[in-house]
Structure 1
Amino acid sequence: MRTLPIIWQRLVSADGTTCPRCRGTGEEVRRAVARLRTILEPLGIVPGLQVKEIDEASFAADTLQSNQILIAGQPLDAWLGGRTGSSRCCDQCGDNECRTLELEDQAYEVVPEELILKAALKAASALATSSRGDV
């Protein structure tokens, strides 16, 4: 089985909490990965989810790295033809501008499962047709 690497990273405060935006995206990522296991199994591909925590100092240096999803080493927005945006967040993030996904004139603070699936299936297609087994 080949692995389709999926990385989701978000700010985790010193007390172990994250903002509602990241919490929502985390739920969507986990649902998408569960569905991908079934969808990709016949192709000999298994999704490998890695969840990374960003500490407050790293977040302060680059707020747009929080709530980021990478699939096969590329940002989700690259697979979808979208772009990274930002909007004011809350809670653990304070008044910082945090990552959004901008796609087809719509901004997503919480990345929906359907878009994660779409990006992952594009990446899996590239993986399945790659002669070296990587994207």
Structure 2
Amino acid sequence: MRQLPIVWKRLVKDGNTCERCGSTWLQLQAAVGKLEIALGPLGIQPVLKMETIDERTFKAEPSESNRIFLAGRPMEQWIGATAGMSRCCSVCGDSDCRTLELDGAAYETIPAELIIKAGLVAASQLLAPSAMTQPESASCGCGTCPGK
């Protein structure tokens, strides 16, 4: 079974994360469950990996927190979204945190539906090479196809 790697990064400070990341975690769990059901028959298994960002890294690059990658690419690239920033809460201090912007809407918590959409697009790329590649010399055995 081919794997669809999904990596989620978020700030963890003193064992806690912000409400935004906590809510995204719930959405991510729901999305991965639905992707497992949808992609399983195609031989693709979503594999979720969580990465922790420490406070020093977060202060240097706050846009890395609450960021999702699918098949090695940022989620926003799969669905035509952009990253934004907005004020967050206690764990994040005075820093702004990542938002996802799509079709005029800004999402602080990344919805399962957008994660699923990105997952399906990314999975389609996993299928494309094997589904579309057939050697020219291949024959179906009918006697009329090229390469007989």
Give the TM bin, normalised by the shorter chain. over 0.9
Code of the residue aligned with 1:32 in structure 2: it is A
TM-score (norm 2): 0.86
In structure 2, the residue matched to 1:114 is 113
Correspondence list, 1:37-76, <5 A: 37-76=36-75
C-alpha RMSD of the superposition:
1.1
Matching residue of 1:12: 12
* Counterpart residue identity of residue 10, structure 2: R
State the secondary structure of the residue aligned to 2:50. Answer: strand
CA distance in 1: counterparts of 2:26 and 2:94, whole angstroms: 23
Aligned to 2:122: 123
C-alpha deviation, 1:130, in angstroms: 2.3
Q: Show structure 2 runs of 5+ residues with no match.
A: 131-148
* Aligned-residue identity in percent: 52
Which residue does the alignment assign to 2:92?
93
Q: TM-score, normalised by structure 1?
A: 0.94
Cα distance in 1 for partners of 2:93, 2:127 equals 42
- 2: distance between equivalents of 1:130 and 1:87? 39
- Encode CA deviations 1:60-101: one digit per residue, 9 max, x unaligned: 110000000000111111111010100011110012111000
Following the alignment from structure 1 to structure 2, what is the Cα–Cα distance between the partners of residues 86 and 68? 12
Q: Structure 1: where are the runs of 5+ without partners? A: none
Q: How many residues align?
A: 131
